[in-house]
Amino acid sequence: MPSSQPRYRQLAEQFRKAITSGKYKPGDALPTEMEICETHKVSRHTARDALRILTDDGLIERRRGAGTVVAARGTPAFAQPIGDFDSILQYARDSSFEISVSQTADQDTLDRLGLTGDYVQLIGFRRVAEQEPQAITAVYIRADVAPEKSIIESLSGSISEWIEANRGISVERVVQRMEAVALNKSQADRLNVSPGYPALRTVRRYRDGSGEILLLSESLHPAGRFAYEMRLDRTKI
């Protein structure tokens, strides 16, 4: 299926994956704008915009006499654009969910998250390729629409897309909340950082047409492994 993203963003994502996977290492030179144009059959403007995104994210830098090279300093292993419904699903499509706990959510947890009814609770890591985990993630799925654990582990897309395709229920709204937090010792140990390390907590609530929560995800992203990016275009009148 053709991507709905602009070509320059697709191109930037290709290079991002090549850098975070280790294909391009710190100090390695990237192709020139003209080489990118010839290899990927894009305009110079498209190539320049793709490189600009990577520069803004700190993944590459310009060096006199060396051209554009991969930056040596640590950078997020995954950056997710935000701005439309499809981009919300990108993380689930591009990362794997390694489940370590599968159980029925207890009442205290449901109360904390504002959930009522029966929910399946899955806890594990979100990971891109062989990188360190991008997050500790807990997913809560309404029990009557939840797929089997084995199905979730083999999904190439998101859980919400599976629910829509196999349960006949549409997700009509996703509400996302983000806040900065400090990891406790247990969370820090699992992510191989020190207690108190800064992290981004994201909570997403997926609602059906009647407003009921079909799915809720709660993730803790340690600083330096994950980033959100948003593009704002000025409207001229």
Q: Which domain holds residue 41?
A: 7-70
pTM: 0.64
DSSP codes joined into one string, 99-151: EEEEEEPPHHHHHHHT--S-EEEEEEEEE-TTSSPSEEEEEEEETTTPPPHHH
- How many independent structural domains does the chain possess? 2
pLDDT for 133 beyond 70:
yes
Q: Say how far apart CA 181 and CA 197 lie, in whole Å.
A: 8
Is the same domain home to 22 and 87? no
Is the same domain home to 215 and 141? yes
Cα angle: 187, vertex 188, 193; to 5 degrees: 155
pLDDT score at 180? 92
**In 3-state terms, what secondary structure has residue 225?**
coil
Is the same domain home to 134 and 197? yes
Is the same domain home to 19 and 119? no
Backbone angles phi, psi at 16, to 5 degrees: -60, -45
pLDDT tens profile 16-56: 888 877 788 888 899 999 999 999 999 999 999 888 888 87
